Amino acid sequence: MKAHTKETQAKLTPESSLQLLKEGNERFQKNQKADRNLLEQVKDTRDGQFPFATILSCIDSRVSAELVFDQGVGDIFSVRIAGNFINDDILGSMEFACKLAGTKALVVLGHTSCGAVKGACDHARLGNLTALINKIEPAVEAVTEPQDESLRNSKNLEFVDAVAVKNVEMAIEDIRKKSEVLKEMEDNGEIAIVGAMYDISDGKVTFL
């Protein structure tokens, strides 16, 4: 499998770009990697890059976007931060990736049993981590069930995963609200902005 070129990138649509990610995750789940020479792709991309997707994911060591979507060198822009939330720098990176570098799909990828989300559920406080946790806590408040406070913590993994999904949904809302560039591109059909969840138990990505 060759690295993407300007021509192959231009032929892709938001829908076909998402399909490439879905097919890649299916290969990952079956342990059937695409036939690609990574060093050859290094050489092919030395004069330029033409990725087809931008993926915001958590720093969790089990959730590498390149691996779980079975992609090679030059295929995706990968933005990673604990809790996969949005800030100005990440939005700027996304605007570069989509508007200037031509990616067609923008995916916010959360995952099950997320440590950052667990910290938010427990309202953890520790150094600079406190400010990060504060950005995820609105998702905790937005999940209304269960109402029993004794069940609204990191020990309740069903609650944790519900918060993780809500956190993805709120990140997408933030993208549309805070980036006129990306919102306009989505409205014009130039990009797709979607959420997804990765299951750390079986490697499956479910698009929301």
User: If you count DSSP H runs as helices and E runs as strands, how many of each does the chain have, helices first?
Assistant: 9, 5
| 170-198 residue pLDDT tens | 999 999 999 999 999 999 999 999 999 99
Least confident interval from 15-19, 38-42, 70-74, 101-105: 38-42
| Residue 70 pLDDT | 97
User: Percent of the chain at pLDDT above 90?
Assistant: 98
- Collapsing DSSP to helix, strand or coil, 40 comes out as helix
Average pLDDT over residues 27-32: 97
Domain spans in the chain, listed from the N-terminal domain onward: 6-113+168-207
Q: Which two tokens stand for residue 4?
A: 């993407």
Instruction: Please state, in angstroms and rounded to a whole number, the distance separating the CA atoms of residues 118 and 129.
Output: 13
Global pTM? 0.95
* DSSP structural state of residue 98: I
CATH classification code of 6-113+168-207: 3.40.1050.10
How many of the other CB atoms lie within 10 Å of CB of 32?
Answer: 10
> What gap in Å lies between CA 157 and CA 153, rounded to an integer?
8
Q: What is the pLDDT of residue 1?
A: 84
pLDDT in tens, 104-156: 999 999 999 999 999 999 999 999 999 999 999 999 999 999 999 999 999 99
- Alpha-helix runs per DSSP H in the chain: 6-11, 14-29, 38-44, 65-68, 88-95, 115-121, 129-142, 157-178, 180-187
Banded pLDDT at 16 (limits 50, 70, 90): very high
Instruction: For residues 132 and 59, give the distance between their C-alpha atoms in angstroms, rounded to a whole number.
Output: 13
